Structure 1
Amino acid sequence: MGFIDKNPPVPESAVLLDAYSTTVAAAVDRVGPAVSRIERLAGGGHGSGFAISPDGLIITNHHVVGDAKAVRIRAANGSVGQGSVLGRDPDTDIALIRADMDVPSWARLGDSKSLRRGHIAIAIGNPLGFDWSVTTGVVSALGRSMRSSTGRLIDDVVQTDAALNPGNSGGPLVSTAGEVVGVNTAVIQGAQGIAFAVASNTANFVVSEIMRFGHVRRAYIGVVVDTIALPRRVAVRAGMTEETTVRIRRIEPGSPAELAGLKEGDFILAIDGQPVAGADDLIRLLDGSRIGQEAAVSVYDLDGAIGERRLMPVARSAG
């Protein structure tokens, strides 16, 4: 009589699913306690936010706080307090709050440049009043641009299919490493599974500017770009080690870029010798110190030539 195994091997698919679940749960356990519900004290409306420091700095969306100077904060541990809006940047839909209360936890801003299409994306927030909900999906695309509430374009946007709903705005988009890689900002109404988050590197830049100056100083050259793979042949010719760069999708009429002879389809490889590996690099390099200062832009154009264009960035207000 043969021995009957009462504990047959677990299917490989079940093992993988369990590993996926464990990974997601661990990331949520790490970041979830830092997520709070943000409510305007006047005019109603709410969204999400997340603490990025033990002293109560909280990132949320500009459209969540609006013109409010103070907001109500409800933390994941149930504590309630108020916070002061330190600054806001409509151009990226990011706002920074200082909580006038102890925060139970804080999250780390990761490097959004390390993201790849297909990476797992975890959204945490307060959609439709269902507080501290979690949804998962994947990173669908990188380096997108979308129009902000001011009508201007937000660059370096992460596209994901993690479900977002009203109330998720301002909450974190989290990697499996438990780091914030984006700030959830919008969903296309009527579309299936298309949502967006401002990349964490851009959010980090905005926070630094607000902490130093109270607002974001920004130089403007008038381009809309996409982050793309840098062809190896171009990288070799340009002496670059980066694997990605940006390609101009649109140029604003009369802008410094148009006046300098840049064209749609050109690759922007570097500014004053500093490599541009993505839209976040372009945003970082075009800070307030560039305003009124001639810049040398290295370009790979549609004719296959690598050359230099010289332009004069102008001031771009945050309003």
Structure 2
Amino acid sequence: ADDGLVVTIGYLITEAESLWITTSDGVTVPGHVVGYDQETGFGLVQALQPMGTPSMALGDSGAVQVSDELIAAAYGGLEQAIKTVLTAKREFAGYWEYVLDEALFITPSHASWGGAALIGEDGKLLGIGSLLVQQIGESGEQSGANMIIPIDLLKPVLDDLRMYGKRNAPPRPWLGFLVQEVSHHLVVSGIYDGCPAERAGLQVGDIIREVDSDPVSGLANLFRRIWRSGHAGVDVPLTIMRNRESNTVTVRSIDRNDSLKSASIH
């Protein structure tokens, strides 16, 4: 925006106590974290001094089609802008309790994907770069692709992030574990120190079979079933397999934001 509001990927600014913004012209100004949306992954930063750069309008990421030619641009001006192609629009599930109903995927990938802008032919912002992933083509070849968070997901929560620093709605339950799919099993691959999963006694290597007696398959299905249990603070019963024995572990969930340090002025 013309008032110095910058949209980026949230993991770049999580728990930041101070930050600086540098433009492609070499102008550096102080900034402040405005907000971070856990559900989408977007982060907002406010420049505290004029940057002297033009703003970019938000585009319509829902209208972009597979095979459309686009531009991916990161810090560094035109030298860091590349032509790319939208290769897929599909669901994405991340092992850190994260699901997008529809993400954008582009190839070739940008080397500086984190926080990069995906720009349409009209010069409007279509999304923000999040990850480098591997895609398998029809002939079996692997190629690097960027996962892009569609800008349409920002629009419904933009005012909330500016006003409150997060979306103004009851937060999802968060358990504080990492889960990966291994041979069609949902395996706990990591647990955050001091978080609900650790306090409940979950262990790395546990296989998750059910949430509140409902069988689950796939990361997206697992996380959505946890979120359907209620708001942050709800007890989430998990049926797990450990050492070939079935056990039930009840995890008292929390709001993810409560576990993060914040320099917010909200």
TM-score grouping bracket, smaller chain normalisation: 0.5 to 0.7
Query: Which digits, 9 at most, give the CA deviation of each residue in 1:171-201, with x for residues without a partner?
Result: 2100111111111111126951321110011
**Post-superposition shift, 1:162?**
3.4
Contact 1:136 1:163 in 2 (8 A): no
* Selected match of 1:141 from 88, 104, 107: 88
**In the alignment, does 2:43 pair up with 1:98?**
no
Match of 1:276 in 2: none
TM-score by length of 1: 0.50
SS of 1:193's partner is: strand
Contact 1:183 1:203 in 2 (8 A): no
CA distance in 2, matches of 1:67, 1:179: 29
For 2:221, the equivalent position in structure 1 comes to 250
Whether the 8 Å contact between 1:156 and 1:202 is mirrored in structure 2 is no
Alignment deviations for residues 201-250 of structure 1 (CA, whole Å, 9 cap, x no partner) = 112233222013221245669xxxxxxxxxxxxxxxxxxxxxxxxxxx73
Pairing partner for 2:122 from 177, 181, 184: 177
Q: Which residue of 2 aligns with 1:198?
A: 149
The residue that corresponds to 2:17 in the other structure is 69
> Which residue number corresponds to residue 115 of structure 1?
64
| Inter-partner Cα distance in structure 1 for 2:4 and 2:226 | 40
Equivalence for 1:212:
163
Q: Are 2:31 and 1:86 aligned?
A: no
2:3 maps to a residue whose letter is D
Structure 1 residue 80: Cα displacement:
0.8
Distance (whole Å) between structure 2 residues aligned to residue 87 and residue 132 of structure 1: 30
Of residues 93, 101, 107, the one that matches 1:161 is 107
Structure 2 distance, partners of 1:77, 1:255, is 46
Displacement of 1:74 in angstroms is 0.5
| Cα pair distance change 1:81/1:140, threshold 3 Å | same
Structure 2 counterpart of 1:250, which letter?
A: N
AA aligned to 2:61 is S
Rounded Cα–Cα distance in structure 1 between residues aligned with 2:81 and 2:225:
45
- Over the residues paired in the alignment, what is the CA RMSD in angstroms? 3.3
Distance 1:132 1:88, change over 3 A: farther
Deviation of the 1:69 alpha carbon: 3.1
* TM-score, normalization by structure 2: 0.59
Aligned length in residues: 185
SS at 2:12 equivalent = helix
**Which consecutive unaligned segments of at least 5 residues does structure 1 have?**
1-52, 222-248, 260-289, 292-314
TM-superposed deviation, 1:160: 0.9
CA distance in structure 1 between the partners assigned to 2:102 and 2:159 by the alignment: 17
Change (3 A) 1:131 1:84: farther
User: For 1:72 and 1:203, how far apart are their aligned partners in 2?
Assistant: 23
**Percent identity of the aligned residues?**
18
1:124 aligns with 73
Closer, same or farther: CA 84–59 of 1 in aligned 2, 3 Å? same
Q: Which secondary structure does the structure 2 equivalent of 1:63 belong to?
A: helix
